[in-house]
Structures are given as structure tokens and as C-alpha cells.
């Protein structure tokens, strides 16, 4: 049983790291809150926080959360205390990332169509 406890502790640490990274992505995305299309293009050309950067970081992080959820589910099926809580938290984060990705792709499509604004303030976190 002690081994299971240490596995849950490891998952909790991983969850904390992933949640911190999600928060950083949300802050980066908020930097794009209301930019003109030209500003978005300039930011992207300068290597700054652009929708595609937020998208790429979100995709990487979603894989981390998926792995975390899978490990937590496996432990949860073995009735390890705390594992299902981690599984649920990881899935909430995955839903949030999916919302950000959907929104950032809309921003990229709008920018390609030449619309006047680009906003990557998504529906999750402090940007809600």
C-alpha cells in the first residue's frame, strides 16, 4: 500500500507542475487579448506570444495531462485513495486546453481572413 501512496504523491506533483504550466499558457494567451491582426503578425514574426505559440504549448501540455489522467485512472481502478481525484482534475484541465485550442484556432482563422481583431482570451481560467 505504501507504494501506491508514493505513486499518488508523484501524480500530485506532476499535476501541480502541469497546472502551473497551464496557468502560464493562460497568461500568454491573455497577452493576445485584443490585438490588431498586424500586431498579431508582428508578435509572431518577433517570436513573441502568438496564437500558434499558445496552440503548440497547449498541445504539448495536453499530452502531459492525458498521460497523467491515464496513470491516475489505472490507480483509481485499483481503488488507490486520491487517484480518481487526480484523474478528474486532469480531465478538467484537458477540457480547458481543448477550449483554448478551439479558440486560438478561431483566432488564427480570423487573422487569415484579415479581420480587424484577434483575441485569444479563451473560456478557461482567469481569462473567462
Q: Which pLDDT score is estimated for 27?
A: 84
Q: Using pLDDT thresholds of 50, 70 and 90, give the confidence band for residue 117.
A: very low
> Cα–Cα distance between 102 and 49 in angstroms, integer?
17
Q: Between residues 112 and 65, which one has the greater pLDDT?
A: 65
- Give the global pTM: 0.73
> Cα–Cα distance between 51 and 70 in angstroms, integer?
28
> Cα–Cα distance between 63 and 58 in angstroms, integer?
9
- Which range among 10-19, 24-33, 43-52, 82-91 shows the weakest confidence by mean pLDDT? 43-52
The predicted-structure confidence for 14-32, as pLDDT tens digits, reads as follows 999 999 999 998 888 777 6
Q: How far is CA 37 from CA 43, 62, 65, 116, in A?
A: 10, 27, 31, 6
Amino acid at each position: 500500500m505504501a507504494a501506491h501512496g508514493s505513486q499518488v504523491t508523484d501524480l500530485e506533483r506532476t499535476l501541480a507542475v502541469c497546472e502551473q504550466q497551464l496557468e502560464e499558457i493562460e497568461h500568454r494567451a491573455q497577452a493576445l487579448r485584443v490585438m490588431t491582426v498586424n500586431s498579431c503578425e508582428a508578435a509572431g514574426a518577433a517570436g513573441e506570444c502568438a496564437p500558434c505559440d499558445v496552440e503548440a504549448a497547449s498541445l504539448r501540455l495536453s499530452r502531459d495531462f492525458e498521460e497523467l489522467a491515464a496513470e491516475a485512472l489505472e490507480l483509481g481502478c485499483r481503488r488507490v485513495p486520491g487517484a480518481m481525484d487526480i484523474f478528474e482534475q486532469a480531465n478538467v484541465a484537458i477540457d480547458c486546453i481543448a477550449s483554448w485550442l478551439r479558440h486560438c484556432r478561431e483566432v488564427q482563422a480570423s487573422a487569415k481572413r484579415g479581420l480587424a481583431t484577434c483575441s485569444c482570451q479563451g473560456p478557461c481560467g482567469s481569462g473567462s
